[in-house]
Chains A and B, each alone.
Chain A
Amino acid sequence: MSVNLLDARGTPLDQQRFTWRDLVQDPISKLDDDAFTRVRIILANGLEQQANRFQHMCSQMNKELREPLAMIRRVEHHQQTMINWLLSSDHSPIETTIGYEQVAIEVTAAIAQQEPDPYLAQVYRFGLLEDFDHMYRYSALLDRVEGKDANNILQSYTDIVPGRPTVDEHRHPTDDLRDHYDRKTAAPVSKMNALTIMSGEYQTRDYYMNIGPTFSDPVARQLYAEIASIEEQHVTQYGSIIDPDETMLEKWLLYEANEAYNYYSLLESETNPRIKAIWERFLEYELGHLDVVKNLFKKYERRDPAEILPEALPTPIPFESQRDFVRKTLEEEINLRANGTQFVDKSEESKASLDYRNHINSEGSPSEAVSAGYQWAPGTELARKSS
């Protein structure tokens, strides 16, 4: 299947409608559905949430666009609802968290490999090793608080071992900023990749901020506070690779094109036919949004959308285990740290980051405490002990 972004009209906006029954469908099965179906759902939720957030911000800064923004944004909101409500009620918040980190690992690893710009690919690999470590800490939490095996969620696609230790990920804010791509020369796929990963990280931050206080256990409350802070750093990092000189409509075009690109990727790999039908429907919706924004772009900027958009969508994002790539990255780059916008050896960290970290960890480290001596074993750590 191929999609032409420049010609496609998609579903007309006035036909993008929902009912409550339609919005709230049967959820997936935590036990029987493939883990990558959950991964795709979580990723799509993040993209819709970010599309909605971006469009709200635009509306705060532009009067002319308020009406079309309001109309498209309502659809983005309802798309997010339908998608997020696919997660079933038997996921405990920590189990859903395991799903979120699986998204961060598998999708970031896939994108790091298809990213043509070497600096941006390095940025993704850098973030990847941090989310990879979160998986290890949260798996320990799930095991030691709820007595459950994180691999029931991961289905053996994703490793549970330490990455760059979370305790070392805390950096001074200025060491989380990166150089941005150049809007004039960057490949369209680079721009879209940045939006995908930033959206995923932003929803992860928000999710942890929402569920953190629902825990009774002080260890869980502290761990969510700690890892939410890293996700905030990740949003800073991935937000800063985006060129700030893009015009608002240029950004909007890219957002809609990226939503289309992601739904196209999701439907290419989806194994659950019921969920696949949703991806197909929403691909057409996004092409409908894109059509509206292309016309706005022509009207207000008097430019051709072809200046910004590629004709064909890039190769779909693969949704499969990236174990080998992650292990190789782990081996080669675990000692990388960030100093300003550059990546350096851990001996060359900035004083600002060292000071920041020393202070924030000075009353103890939740991520170290929760995982001391933790090693994943099939059936939990308790199964390992007795064997």
Chain B
Amino acid sequence: MEKSTQLGMNRTGADMSPIHSKAMLKGQSLFKVGPIDSTGMAAIRSSYVQLKEPVGSVPLPGTFKGVLTSGKEKMTGHNPEVLINKLGERLAFERSGVRLYDALIMKIEADKADEGKDIVSINLLKQFREEEYEHFLMVKEVMESVGADPTAQTPDADVAGLAALGIQKVMTEPRTSLSQCLEALLTAEMTDNGAWELLVELCEEMGLDDTSAEFRRALAQEEKHLEQIKSWVRQLTMGQAEKAL
């Protein structure tokens, strides 16, 4: 069983220190409190939300005519910035995805003892890593072909990165177990799948049929990633539960 699943001296719960916890609870009765009231918090939040500035803007395309055509394709949508924002997000996510897989692969290779190795295939992880890398390059090319700057950080790229901060922390933390890392990766792959589906649809909508077909192939690979990671998490957890019994 992974160490993180073993019983030990976890001190966080109230039951771990019954005498102190009892004293602490007794102290609660020493002061009176009104009903739970979130109006003050809501007022502060709303005073900023109402004046809100966005996190930033979609960068202007370097070559404007490029926005209208992608290679031989003709873009039909009216708001190319929507596509640029989303392409930027996908590019950033796939690029970070490569680093997530890198971190996990290094960790598994460093950990001689981890029991999960008979379940999780490092070669398959390496293959997924390569696919994330290819997806990054693919999106980069598409951005270039429509005249968008693939080196810029778009607003949705920025916010997706913010949302994924914790995943990166879990992956690079030496103390996390293989199942904990895979579960974090599952979060990333689930998001990834949803986002690719949307991007395929968006490209179709904008008349970029070739691009959309290409993206559909990436989506098919992402579906495999998701399915595999999910099944590893399941096998690891169920396997440990059986051993424990």
Chain A contacts to B: CB under 8 angstroms: 26-27, 30-35, 88-90, 144, 151-153, 155-157, 159-162, 216-219, 222, 321, 323, 327, 364-366, 368-370, 372-379, 381, 385
Contacts and interface: CB of A to CB of B under 8 A. Distances in A.
B39 A372 contact: yes
Nearest to A31: B10
Interface of B: 8-14, 16-17, 20-21, 23-25, 27-28, 30-31, 33-41, 43-45, 47-48, 162, 169, 173-175
B40 A372 contact: yes
Query: Chain A at the B interface: mostly helix, strand, loop or mixed?
Result: loop
Nearest to A370: B41
Contacts of A219: 41, 44-45
Given A364-B40, A364-B44, A373 B33 contact: yes
A30 B169 CA distance: 15
Nearest to B24: A156
A161 B14 contact: no
B33 A375 contact: yes
Contacts of B39: 372
A366 B44 contact: yes
B158 to A, nearest CB: 12
Contact of B28 (A30, A88, A161): A161
A168 to B, nearest CB: 16
A321 B20 contact: yes
Nearest to A145: B41
27 contacts: A26-B174, A26-B175, A30-B12, A31-B12, A88-B175, A144-B38, A151-B24, A153-B12, A155-B16, A156-B21, A157-B17, A159-B24, A161-B30, A218-B44, A218-B45, A219-B45, A323-B24, A327-B30, A366-B44, A369-B41, A369-B43, A369-B44, A372-B36, A372-B37, A372-B39, A372-B41, A381-B36
Given A89-B169, A162-B31, A222 B24 contact: no
A156 B175 contact: no
Nearest to A367: B40
Contacts of A321: 20
Contacts of B8: 32
Between A27, A370, A372, A377, the greatest number of chain B beta carbons within 10 A of the residue's beta carbon is seen for A372
Contacts of A153: 12
B151 to A, nearest CB: 26
Given A32-B11, A373-B36, 13 more contacts: A88-B175, A152-B13, A155-B17, A156-B14, A156-B20, A156-B21, A218-B47, A365-B40, A372-B40, A374-B36, A376-B28, A378-B21, A379-B14
Contact of B173 (A35, A89, A222, A373): A89
Contacts of B37: 372-373
A372 B34 contact: yes
Contact of B11 (A27, A34, A162): A34
Contacts of A222: 44
Between B12, B14, B16, the greatest number of chain A beta carbons within 10 A of the residue's beta carbon is seen for B12
